[in-house]
Amino acid sequence: MWPSHFALRISELVTVETTDFRASHDPGLQRFGNLGVLTVTGKNDVTGSVPMREHLVHDLLRWYLEKVRPALLLRRRGQGDGTCKFGDETFQVAQLLFPSERGGVVEPNQFRKRLKQMAMNTGTIHKRLTPHTLRHTGCTLMVPIYSPEVAQKYMRHKNLFTTLGYYHPTPLQAGNEVNAPVSLFGDDGEDED
């Protein structure tokens, strides 16, 4: 799911705008086109840019932008001047990635409710699924790929300690991550007695 991919807070998720995405200058990410990097300003006005990493997330986002979002924009009611307020900010409804059917920002509690229902409908998720849980998942997936310091920037945390609190490796994964460099020395995995 793409919210975990980008490790967004619920307040960031409901206010993401299509203009927050841009192409990446990294040659390895150019295959994602204009969806290569998402830049978000979150809590405490900390800004971070998170790269697209997965083809499946990219494909899902493109499908949503091409097939679902246009229908939402056409169905919206109460268009008024085309703007809406969320908190202290004003948004152009046509720029919101996830506009509500009423032509505004999807209320965070409504988003939580929809996410919970989708998770339950899959029949595979037995624990409570929330946007914040997906944020923790995003961090857990980022740290082994990059580093804790890079994940901190992507998570938009002021302190590395906060980022490490979001990182939850399983005991087996933690052992593999620590021992991964050992495999560079050609050990066949046979222990000497």
157 phi/psi in degrees, rounded to 5: -95, 140
9 phi/psi in degrees, rounded to 5: -75, 160
- Quick check: is 39 in a domain? yes
Q: What is the separation, in whole angstroms, between the first and last Cα of the chain?
A: 46
- Averaged pLDDT for residues 123-151: 84
**DSSP structure class, residue 15:** T
- Quick check: is 27 in a domain? yes
Give the Cα separation of 48 and 69 in Å (integer).
25
- Quick check: is 36 in a domain? yes
24 phi/psi in degrees, rounded to 5: -95, 150
- Quick check: is 184 in a domain? no
Domain that holds residue 71: 2-171
Q: Which amino acid is at 159?
A: N
- Quick check: is 45 in a domain? yes
Q: Check pLDDT > 80 for residue 115.
A: yes
Q: How many domains does the chain have?
A: 1
List pLDDT tens digits, range 22-49. Answer: 999 999 889 999 999 999 988 888 888 9
Give the Cα separation of 136 and 111 in Å (integer).
17
DSSP secondary structure letters along 121-136: HHS---S---HHHHHH
Using CA of residue 52, residue 106, residue 99, residue 129, what is the dihedral sign?
A: positive
Please report, for residues 31, 65, 132, 148, the alpha-carbon distance to residue 112 in angstroms, rounded to integers and kept in the order given.
Answer: 32, 21, 10, 28
Where does the chain have alpha helices with state H? 2-6, 10-13, 55-63, 69-75, 108-122, 131-145, 148-155, 160-166, 171-179
Q: Check pLDDT > 60 for residue 175.
A: no
- Quick check: is 182 in a domain? no
For position 108, which CATH number holds?
1.10.443.10
List pLDDT tens digits, range 72-110. Answer: 888 766 557 888 889 888 999 999 999 988 888 999 999
